[in-house]
Amino acid sequence: MARLVLASASPRRKELLARLGVRFDVRPVEIAEDAGPSKDPQIVARRLACAKAEAARLTDEHAPILAGDTVVALGGRIFGKPANGAEAREMLRTLRGRTHDVVTAVAVVPLGRRSVIVRHPLTAVTMREYSDAEIEASIARGDPLDKAGAYGIQDELLHPAERYEGCYCSVIGLSLWATIEALRKAGEEVDVESVDFLPQCAACPLARP
């Protein structure tokens, strides 16, 4: 069986995919991650995840492909990865105390096919009222710079989220349940009994037997 190709440089996607117990190789692709004219986070995430998967297919024609993209959105604005500390500061201040949407689309190209299977769960995240000093400490650590919206929900130091509704690991960077569904649809075997789920996965609205 050909090994799955993860077309992503995200260490969080790599760690989450490894929890499924599937064998895979990491081969990131470079695309222009421009949100484009749409302000719908589901449309943007789907388009970018599919673009990554299709780009990976050009170089890996004989393996199944998995790609993902995370989009943070609030009030019609798409929050990408901050380019620097100033952008991270502005994003974290804007999101503070408010509820926003996070969509991580997972796109799978099955072996021997060009069609793309996409899942794109949406999670509503409400941020707590963290202080400016906490923002500055997070920036000093370099934590926000590789994350959409400038934060990680799993960050135990900033602890940015007060609550969430939806899939927790999708906010981290890859929904385990959505990925299982997409891989199975693509003909890839995933033994749910052997998956190393996060504790939050038990209450996930996407959970399937």
Are the C-beta atoms of residues 155 and 88 closer than 8 Å to each other?
A: no
Neighbours of 11 (CB within 10 A): 11
- Give the integer Cα–Cα distance in Å for 4 and 71: 24
| Contact status, residue 137 vs residue 157, Cβ threshold 8 Å | yes
The residue from 25, 40, 60, 69 that is catalytic is 69
112: left (phi over 0), alpha (psi -120 to 50) or beta: left
Based on the residue annotation, tell me whether 69 is a catalytic residue of this protein.
Answer: yes
Residues carrying an active site annotation: 69
